[in-house]
Structure 1
Amino acid sequence: MKLNHINLGVTDVLQAVDIFQRYFGLRPAGGGMPLDEKMAFLRDDDGALLSMFRVNDVQYPKVFHIGFLQDTPEQVRAVHRQLTDGGFHIPGPSENHGRLTFYFTAPFGVVIEVESFLG
């Protein structure tokens, strides 16, 4: 079974699209699916769909987040460096349960985790 899609409410759809494309390699879903200030649809390398809709007040449970798995710890550090070079203030990656990981709250209201398994 494969994950088909995740639907997110975000405060700024175009900002979310920019961050997901620039730092996480997602791309427009195509096929006539909208990509504008009200809603957007992106796909990952495996074809899973990330749909985003503009909402005024993003509210997720405290434990909610989305995660991006990297192949190596070096890739986790590289994504962290790209984000901090892009102006985000994010605590550095740390080792946790056999993984190198970091979390940050994106400005559009969603917590994102980037991780890789260690050795």
Structure 2
Amino acid sequence: MKLNHLNLTVTDVGAAKDFLMNYFGLKLGGERGRSFAALFDDNGMVLTLMKGKEVNYPATFHIGFGQESEEKVNEMYKRLVDDGFSATSPERAHAWTFYVEAPGGFTVEVMA
């Protein structure tokens, strides 16, 4: 059995979609106006984004994207910070990792 899809409620579908496509390589599968988008990863998993007025995920909630090396994590960190996103500094935890606040009201972990 494999995970087929995951749905995130976000405050701004367009901004969240663009963020995930630009930085994490997800591909657009389809969308309905500004209220819904379906994104695919390289393995066929679908991440759907649905518009919500409020987003209240628990503090520890996040989605994660693995990178092939610590150098790639550092490059991603620099790119996101240079582009104005709020991110924690990379650190050694369960992996070489950092967290970034994504547009739309959710957190993304980047790790290797």
Q: Per the shorter chain, which TM-score range?
A: over 0.9
Deviation at residue 51 of structure 1 after TM alignment: 0.2
Deviation at residue 35 of structure 1 after TM alignment: 4.7
Match for residue 7 of structure 1? 7
Equivalences for residues 1-119 of structure 1 within 5 A: 1-29=1-29, 33-97=30-94, 99-116=95-112
Deviation at residue 91 of structure 1 after TM alignment: 2.2
Q: Would the aligned equivalents of 1:28 and 1:35 in 2 still touch at CA under 8 Å? A: no
Q: Would the aligned equivalents of 1:39 and 1:52 in 2 still touch at CA under 8 Å? A: yes
Q: What is the letter of the counterpart of residue 5 of structure 2? A: H
Deviations 1:19-75 (A, max 9, x none): 00000000111xxx3253110000011110000000010011222110001111111
Gaps spanning 5+ residues in structure 1: where?
none
Give % identity: 43
The TM-score with structure 2 as length reference comes to 0.93
Q: Would the aligned equivalents of 2:62 and 2:109 in 1 still touch at CA under 8 Å? A: yes
The TM-score with structure 1 as length reference comes to 0.88
- Structure 1 runs, 4 residues or longer, greater than 3 Å off: none
RMSD (Å) for aligned C-alpha atoms: 1.2
Q: What is the letter of the counterpart of residue 86 of structure 2? A: H
